[in-house]
Amino acid sequence: MEAILKKNSCAGFTLIELLVVIAIISSLSALLLPNYMSTRERARDSQRKSDLRQIQKALELYKDNQSPITYPATDSLPAAGACWSSGALCTGSVYMNKMPGDPSPGKSYKYTLGADILTYTLCACLENTADLDGVASCTTCTGGACSTTNWCYVVTQP
């Protein structure tokens, strides 16, 4: 008799068990997805801040090579991905081999030369409004271009 019961018993999962497992997996993924998205935002913001510090160092190299001492004119920095040097085709004094660009498509960094030509401002829009390095008023540099978060990172001359 015992052999007949073993032969007829099903060796799979019931529909209820499968639904419970799917519900558990769905709830876990719903809890983890927002955390994953904020991690990506923080990573892009970290890249933006690092890029602006690199551009700041290149601006100082540029200033040191100028006579009289000055920074480049407003919005005269090379496009993202281009070489920035004193000569054509990346010759002479090379300030940056590859100009960094904003990691988000359609966004860019903003450079503005001060009125006295010895000051400048570099800005980038941040995605994470809880970033302690960010400032709430972006109108001084980007003209309000950080409209989605209105939170930006600003670098000035050292």
Convert the pLDDT of each residue in 92-147 to its tens digit: 899 999 999 999 888 889 998 988 888 998 999 898 888 888 888 776 555 556 76
In a domain, 76, yes or no: yes
In a domain, 1, yes or no: no
In a domain, 45, yes or no: yes
- CA dist., res. 144 & res. 154, Å (int): 13
Integer Rg of the chain from CA:
27
Read off the pTM: 0.76
In a domain, 7, yes or no: no
In a domain, 144, yes or no: yes
In a domain, 88, yes or no: yes
| pLDDT band for position 148 (cuts 50, 70, 90) | low
Q: Into how many domains does the chain fold? A: 1
Enclosing domain of residue 127: 14-156
Three-class SS of residue 124?
strand
